[in-house]
Amino acid sequence: MPTTCVVGILWGDEGKGKVIDYLAADADYVVRFGGGHNAGHTLYLPSGKLVLHLVPSGIVHPHTVNVIGNGVVVDPVHLCGEIDRLIERGIAVELGRNLLLSERAHVIVEAHRLQDAWGEGVRSGGKIGTTGRGVGPAYSDRCARIGLRLGDLVDPARLDRALANLVEQKNAWFGPAGIPLLDAAAMRNTLLAAGDRLRAGIGDTGKLLRDASAAGKRILLEGAQGCLLDLEHGTYPFVTSSHASTGGAYSGSGLPPHEMRTVGIVKAYATRVGEGPFPSELKDDTGDRLRVAGKEFGSTTGRPRRCGWFDSVAVRYSGAVSGATELVLTNLDVLRGFDPLRVVVGYRLPDGSKTTDFPAFELERLTPEFAELPGFTEDLQQVRRFEDLPPNARGYVEAIERHTGIAVRTISVGPERQQVILR
Ligand code: IMP
């Protein structure tokens, strides 16, 4: 396996956890390159359901080295808790052996969560619907060059210098904004304690990965969120604050841009959690039925996900931006009993003209145009070969390939590891 990057194609929640888990069986390194504990990657293991937020999904495979790359924003208190919960579940997590953390990764502190809530409260243009984990403000501080990095937590003098910068700038406006002021001494204690706990895992993961790549090791880059939540290419401003598409895999891991196989994960229908435009959204009974059938509730916040039809215009755009040469189609089994099935094939713009490109603006004013396909009533969960799918399910997959121009190589027909069809 060459270096492989797995990205969500729409707004996240495509079922990346299961795919990474499946691909990690053949990987030496599994690397998170962006986002923070806003992500929720769900695995269905023989021992039951496991939701990972920050720790890469390869952690359940004893042979893989898992890396939290420099592009991730890390809440160190959350990370210590997540490691504890994994160990309680009987999963071996050893910092410095199978879990490594970039010293360059930026740190989320309590103030970022307060700032996240404050920012949502004062937005006159409508809430983003953030996960409230402080992810956006932590990335803002990184850009403003006042952030703390994981490497600061293992050196008290370095931490003091970095904290002084952060506290000075934040408190200058937190007071007038009504956000509780930062207390540098209290923060210092919390951060040094977390640094002590995480110390053995913190280091130069970029060099490690470049060396591993040069030595021919198999590296799997685990995307978080999805291409339409990418800060640059997504449905701005209703996006997350990281580069969730493939571009972020290079900058967020420290690997140089070289050839990479990019696998796009997409559901057989579309979902979105949080606010923002969603051209194929179903605000009717069909959308409610999809939510129930697909158990579409956020794995991080528990919020109900908005549901809609498969959108081939959006998928083609994200596929092009991410360089995905193949798709993994998840949740095909969920569409059982929906008839007809619909797939977006174009948009009508507010001025009446038509497009098959994904616009940067006024997405909420588009009218989607659909192709209709006959549905299927059979249970797909036991099917393991494409030829054994009912003809209408096969026809649906082939229509998706036709309309997106991207091959569907893998189909997931249930939450369990083995419920997969490889083509
Ligand atoms: P933030 O990343 O918490 O700032 O939230 C920004 C937007 O991204 C909101 O609409 C969130 O619901 C969405 N978002 C963030 N992380 C995820 C995820 O892992 N899955 C789906 N949506 C997400």
Q: What is this structure's pTM?
A: 0.96
Same domain, 375 and 282: yes
> In 13-169, at which residue ranges do the beta strands (DSSP E only) sit?
29-32, 41-45, 48-52, 65-68, 73-74, 99-102, 106-107
Tally of CA atoms within 13 A in the half-sphere of 205 that contains its CB: 34
Task: Residue 119: give its domain's CATH number.
Answer: 1.10.300.10
Same domain, 367 and 298: yes
* Residue 135 beta carbon below 6 angstroms from any ligand 1 atom: yes
User: In ligand 1, which atom is closest to the CA atom of 242?
Assistant: 2
Best residue among 240, 271, 272, 296 to mutate for probing ligand 1, ranked by most atoms within 8 Å of CB: 240
Same domain, 238 and 208: yes
- C-alpha 245 – ligand 1 centre gap (Å): 14
Task: Residue 236: give its domain's CATH number.
Answer: 3.40.440.10
Q: How many domains does the chain have?
A: 3
Same domain, 379 and 237: no
Nearest to 331 by CA among 4, 3, 9: 9
Mark which of 180, 197, 214 sits at the end of a domain.
Answer: 197
Mark which of 262, 280, 296 sits at the end of a domain.
Answer: 262
- C-alpha 130 – ligand 1 centre gap (Å): 6
Average pLDDT of every residue of the chain: 96
pLDDT score at 243:
98
pLDDT score at 46:
87
Question: Model confidence at 298, in pLDDT bands (50, 70, 90)?
Answer: confident
Same domain, 61 and 189: no
Annotation says 311 is catalytic = no
Among 126-135, 187-196, 233-242, 368-377, name the one with the lowest average pLDDT: 126-135
Summarised one tens digit per residue, pLDDT across range 199-247 is: 999 999 999 999 999 999 999 999 999 999 999 999 999 999 999 999 9
Mark which of 227, 242, 262 sits at the end of a domain.
Answer: 262
* Residue 235 beta carbon below 6 angstroms from any ligand 1 atom: no
Same domain, 290 and 183: no
Which domain, by its residues, includes 330? 266-422
Same domain, 375 and 242: no
* Residue 373 beta carbon below 6 angstroms from any ligand 1 atom: no
Annotation says 13 is catalytic = yes
Best residue among 115, 141, 273 to mutate for probing ligand 1, ranked by most atoms within 8 Å of CB: 273
Give the DSSP letter string of 136-184. HHHHHHHHHT---BGGGGG-HHHHHHHHHHHHHHHHHHHHHHTPPPP-H
Same domain, 227 and 126: no
Same domain, 225 and 210: yes
Same domain, 207 and 117: no
Summarised one tens digit per residue, pLDDT across range 258-297 is: 889 999 999 999 999 989 999 999 999 999 999 999 999 9
Same domain, 402 and 330: yes
Could you give the CA distance from residue 192 to residue 138 in angstroms, rounded to a whole number?
Answer: 18
Task: Residue 395: give its domain's CATH number.
Answer: 3.90.170.10
Same domain, 82 and 144: no
